[in-house]
Amino acid sequence: MRTSFAVGVDVGGTRIAAGLVERKGRIVKDAVMLTPDSGPFAIVDAIIDLIDDVTAGTHPSEVAGVGIGLPAQIDFLRQSVEFCTNLPLAGVDVRSLVMSRSRYEVTLDNDGNLAAFGESRFGAAKGARDFLMLTLGTGVGGGLFLDGEPYRGSRGMGGEVGHMVVQMDGPPCPCGGSGHIESYMGRAALGAKGCEAVERYDGSAILAEAGGDKTEVTAEHVVTAALKGDEVARGILLEAGDVLGRALVGLVNLLNPKLVVIGGGIGESCGFIMDRAEEVMATEAMAGRRDVTFVQAELGNDAGVLGAAALALDEYDSREGLHR
Ligand SMILES: [Zn+2]
């Protein structure tokens, strides 16, 4: 039987969003809550509550299953959470816990992979067989589509674009490594750069955005000051764009993608970061640079939910022997 809906759940460091999604990608019911900070089981409870909430009133036979995106490295074949920096979920059997208390099949995947999945099925990357998605937000996430399929690597942990090394012995990264893209572009890194800048330069609008308190400077203050034209703040973000552009030189040389899709809160609000990254890529990459178009993501905050639902629908169809 061809079901009409799937549930997509997008678990982030600060909020969890869920949606009941039609096959064509329309979210017919959604719900959101803050991510609990009282341990892994509270997070699982929240996921189950959200699934119950969005499926209330829908017959279970109409729902293909649940896809859950986690900010974690997932062993896709075993469906286990292997590594998770922002939430206490590593080693927790999220899939079994959710399945035992809901009536649906559950599939886990990395949130960056699912954002790419959403953009591929319903958004900016529709029809693109080879593309790269970058989400610039709290962390730097990514997803790869190669030859029309999501590329996860041998066990599902590939596609971590944000954790490519761009500087030997560079600044620490939340993952435990150093000199990664996220060491320069993650919220923590941009906030730290903002703090340094207000110590060094008098009169930067960053301090005003932080209410005059040097200890309160965050990435958001840097972004807002930059959007208002503050040169110091713009300088911080342009430097991050340089770093990203260098990483993209490597990625374009390696993968020859057709599209680079940029999403995430910071990516979507600060187009000039990507303009700088694109400039660097266009100057330094080999011939494949001519094939690449940079585009903004189209699905915004819904990319994760839509991608998770699309994954659940695909998994259902392959279990049932149906074809897209
Ligand atoms: Zn890292």
Domains and CATH numbers, the chain: 5-118+301-319 (3.30.420.40), 127-297 (3.30.420.40)
Expressed in angstroms and rounded, the spacing between residue 302 Cα and the centre of ligand 1 is: 25
Pair of tokens at residue 122: 């319903």
Hey, what's the torsion of the CAs at 233, 298, 30, 145, to 10 degrees?
-100
Expressed in angstroms and rounded, the spacing between residue 172 Cα and the centre of ligand 1 is: 8
Expressed in angstroms and rounded, the spacing between residue 193 Cα and the centre of ligand 1 is: 17
pLDDT in tens, 185-229: 999 999 999 999 999 988 889 999 999 998 999 999 999 999 999
Expressed in angstroms and rounded, the spacing between residue 184 Cα and the centre of ligand 1 is: 10
Task: For residue 83, give Cα distances in angstroms to 23, 72, 181, 208.
Answer: 31, 6, 18, 38
Expressed in angstroms and rounded, the spacing between residue 317 Cα and the centre of ligand 1 is: 35
Hey, what's the torsion of the CAs at 193, 194, 196, 197, to 10 degrees?
120
Expressed in angstroms and rounded, the spacing between residue 28 Cα and the centre of ligand 1 is: 36
If you count DSSP H runs as helices and E runs as strands, how many of each does the chain have, helices first? 11, 12
Expressed in angstroms and rounded, the spacing between residue 253 Cα and the centre of ligand 1 is: 21
Expressed in angstroms and rounded, the spacing between residue 175 Cα and the centre of ligand 1 is: 4
Do 98 and 47 touch, CB atoms closer than 8 A?
yes
Expressed in angstroms and rounded, the spacing between residue 311 Cα and the centre of ligand 1 is: 26
Give the separation between CA 251 and CA 186, rounded to whole angstroms. 19
Expressed in angstroms and rounded, the spacing between residue 161 Cα and the centre of ligand 1 is: 9
Expressed in angstroms and rounded, the spacing between residue 140 Cα and the centre of ligand 1 is: 9
- Residue length, the chain? 324
The residues facing 260 across adjacent strands are 132, 294
Expressed in angstroms and rounded, the spacing between residue 87 Cα and the centre of ligand 1 is: 15
Supply φ then ψ for residue 5, to 5 degrees.
-135, 165
Expressed in angstroms and rounded, the spacing between residue 183 Cα and the centre of ligand 1 is: 7
Do 247 and 181 touch, CB atoms closer than 8 A?
yes
Nearest to 98 by CA among 165, 176, 41, 168: 41
Nearest to 130 by CA among 116, 114, 110: 116
Expressed in angstroms and rounded, the spacing between residue 319 Cα and the centre of ligand 1 is: 35
Expressed in angstroms and rounded, the spacing between residue 39 Cα and the centre of ligand 1 is: 23
Expressed in angstroms and rounded, the spacing between residue 79 Cα and the centre of ligand 1 is: 22
Pair of tokens at residue 218: 């965050």
Expressed in angstroms and rounded, the spacing between residue 138 Cα and the centre of ligand 1 is: 12
Expressed in angstroms and rounded, the spacing between residue 119 Cα and the centre of ligand 1 is: 24
pLDDT at position 313 is: 96
pLDDT at position 89 is: 96
Expressed in angstroms and rounded, the spacing between residue 111 Cα and the centre of ligand 1 is: 16
Query: What 3-state DSSP class applies to 117?
Result: helix
Expressed in angstroms and rounded, the spacing between residue 141 Cα and the centre of ligand 1 is: 10
Expressed in angstroms and rounded, the spacing between residue 267 Cα and the centre of ligand 1 is: 18
Do 218 and 224 touch, CB atoms closer than 8 A?
no
For the chain, residues with pLDDT lower than 50 are none
Expressed in angstroms and rounded, the spacing between residue 182 Cα and the centre of ligand 1 is: 6
**pTM for this model (two decimals):** 0.92
Expressed in angstroms and rounded, the spacing between residue 264 Cα and the centre of ligand 1 is: 17
CB contact set of 264 (below 8 Å; sequence gap of 6+):
134, 135, 136, 137, 140, 141, 297
pLDDT in tens, 118-139: 999 999 999 999 999 999 988 8
Expressed in angstroms and rounded, the spacing between residue 68 Cα and the centre of ligand 1 is: 22
Instruction: Quickly list H helices, the chain.
Output: 40-55, 94-101, 111-122, 181-185, 187-200, 205-209, 219-227, 231-255, 265-269, 271-284, 303-319
pLDDT at position 1 is: 67
Give the separation between CA 116 and CA 306, rounded to whole angstroms. 10
Do 4 and 22 touch, CB atoms closer than 8 A?
yes
Expressed in angstroms and rounded, the spacing between residue 48 Cα and the centre of ligand 1 is: 30
Do 36 and 50 touch, CB atoms closer than 8 A?
no
